[in-house]
Amino acid sequence: MNDDAALGQLARAHGVLASYRDMQGRERTASPDTLRALLAAISVAAENARLVRESLEALRADRRARRLPVEMIIESRKETTLTFGSFDSWRLRRDEAREVLACGRAADAIALPALASDVYALE
């Protein structure tokens, strides 16, 4: 994979779009410098080809080690059961807070309480 393709892959993996269509329907492509600046703004090392490769490898390693999905959407104010396979324990907190709202040990599923609409972290 060439350097620009790797940079584009890293950007996409972090939710940074490498191109878009403007109001006239023309495709606009972000330059490598713009992608690097956007990645830097979200604290992703991408200043050169070596750092892009290292960031991609770190991302892949994190995904291999991750027990839970990065994101998911559930219906608010409704109890929800999530199935991810077996692991020891879990805890739920509001994304911006430290207070644990719920926790437990999971055999094969996690039973979440009815939650208000918000962003939560499941760890």
Domain co-membership, 55 together with 9: yes
Whether 44 is in a domain gets the answer yes
pLDDT tens digits, residue range 15-50? Answer: 899 999 999 999 999 999 999 999 999 999 999 999
The CA-based dihedral angle spanning residues 64, 68, 69, 73, taken in that order and rounded to the nearest 10 degrees: 180
Mean pLDDT to the nearest integer, 94-105: 85
Buried b (16+ CB within 10 A) or exposed e, 87-116: eeebebbeeeeeeeeeeeebeeebebeebe
Res 88: pLDDT = 72
Domain enclosing residue 110, as ranges? 80-122
Angle subtended at Cα 46 by Cα 21 and Cα 14, rounded to the nearest 5 degrees = 50
Whether 101 is in a domain gets the answer yes
Mean pLDDT to the nearest integer, 2-6: 93
Number of domains in the chain: 2
Res 64: pLDDT = 81
Whether 71 is in a domain gets the answer no
Whether 74 is in a domain gets the answer no
How deeply is 39 buried, as exposed, middle or buried, from its count of CB atoms within 10 A (0-12, 13-18, 19+)? buried
Domain co-membership, 92 together with 55: no
Local confidence band at 106 (pLDDT 50, 70, 90 cut-offs): low
Domain co-membership, 59 together with 85: no
For residue 68, the number of C-alpha atoms closer than 13 Å in the C-beta half-sphere is 17
What is the chain's alpha carbon radius of gyration, rounded to the nearest angstrom? 19
pLDDT tens digits, residue range 45-90? Answer: 999 999 999 999 999 898 887 777 777 888 889 998 888 766 678 8
Domain co-membership, 53 together with 101: no
Whether 75 is in a domain gets the answer no
Res 107: pLDDT = 67
Res 87: pLDDT = 67
- pTM metric for this prediction: 0.61
Domain co-membership, 7 together with 56: yes
